[in-house]
Amino acid sequence: MIATHNPGKLAEMRELLAPHGVEPVSAGELGLSEPEETGDSFRANAKIKAVAAAMAAQLPAFADDSGLVVDALDGAPGILSARWAGPTKDFTVAMTRIERLLQERGATTPEQRKAHFVSALCVAWPDDHLEEVEARADGTLVWPPRGVAGFGYDPMFMPDGFARTFGEMTSIEKHGLPPLGLGLSHRARAFVKLAEICLAPR
Ligand code: ITT
C-alpha cells in the first residue's frame, strides 16, 4: 500500500510502481488516518508514516517524506514544506512566502537562488522489516511560478540542466527515468535505489 494522503505524490508513486507490476492501494482508500510527523529528518518522518501504515493495514507500506531545501533560507522550509502551505494546503501561499524571504535577503541571481528537493522513501513490512533510501534533485528557484503540472512547489523549481520548471514538465519528464534519463526528480532518483533493493526489474 502507498502511505500518503497527498494526491500529487500518490499519482507519482503509483506511476513509479506500475512498471514493476505492483498495484497498490492507498492510505486514503483504506481509510487510514495520518500519523503525526514528529521526526527531525525526512528519513525519520518517512519511517513514521510507513511503519504506522504497515501496522494498521498489515500490508507492506511505501511512504515518502520530502520537501524543498532553500540554500539562502538556511535550509527552510525543509521538513516543514507541507506546513508552509497552511491548513488549506495552498502552495501559492507557500511559494509566495519563499519568494518574499528571498527578496528580503537580496537573493536575485540564479546562483543565490539555489535549492534542492529531497525525497526519503521507506518501505515497511508488517514483520518489522524496513528499507530506507534517500535522494535529492538540485535546481534554481524562479519567479513568477511557471506551469500548472505537478504539485506543491513544482512551478517554482527549475532542475539543473533544464530551462523548464517541474511545473512545465509531464510527470514522465519529471521522473526522467529510462529511456529519457537515469532519474531526474528526487522521488524518481530515490525510487531507482529502492527498486534495486526490493522490486523485480522493469
Ligand atoms: P504525506 O505525508 O501524506 O505523504 P504531505 O504532503 O504531508 O503528504 P510531506 O510531509 O512529505 O508530505 O510534505 C512534503 C511537501 O513538500 C509536500 O506537501 C509538497 O508540497 C512538497 N514536495 C515534495 N515533493 C515535491 C515535488 O515532487 N514537487 C513539488 N513539491 C513537492
Whether the CB-CB separation of 130 and 148 falls below 8 Å is answered with no
User: Rounded distance, CA 80 to CA 82, Å?
Assistant: 6
Q: Verify whether ligand 1 is closer than 6 Å to residue 117 (CB atom).
A: yes
What are the distances in angstroms from CA 69 to CA 11, 13, 64, 75, 157? Answer: 23, 21, 16, 5, 11
Average pLDDT per 10 consecutive residues for the chain, totaling 202 residues: 96 96 93 96 98 96 98 98 96 98 98 98 96 98 98 98 98 96 97 92 71
Q: How many domains does the chain have?
A: 1
Nearest ligand 1 atom to alpha carbon 150 = 28
Q: Verify whether ligand 1 is closer than 6 Å to residue 168 (CB atom).
A: no
Nearest ligand 1 atom to alpha carbon 68 = 16
1 belongs to a structural domain: no
Q: Which of 64, 65, 74, 128 is catalytic?
A: 65
163 belongs to a structural domain: yes
40 in catalytic set:
no
Which residues, including other chains, have CB under 8 Å from residue 134's CB and lie 6 or more apart? 42, 43, 118, 119, 120, 121, 190
Q: Verify whether ligand 1 is closer than 6 Å to residue 4 (CB atom).
A: yes
54 belongs to a structural domain: yes
57 belongs to a structural domain: yes
2 belongs to a structural domain: no
124 belongs to a structural domain: yes
Q: Verify whether ligand 1 is closer than 6 Å to residue 165 (CB atom).
A: no
Whether the CB-CB separation of 23 and 75 falls below 8 Å is answered with no
Please choose from 1, 6, 65 the residue to mutate so as to test ligand 1's pocket, defined by most ligand atoms within 8 A of CB. Answer: 6
85 belongs to a structural domain: yes
65 belongs to a structural domain: yes
Residue 13's CATH number: 3.90.950.10
What is the model's pLDDT at position 19?
93
Residue 157 lies in domain: 7-198
Vertex 34: Cα angle to 29 and 39 (nearest 5): 140
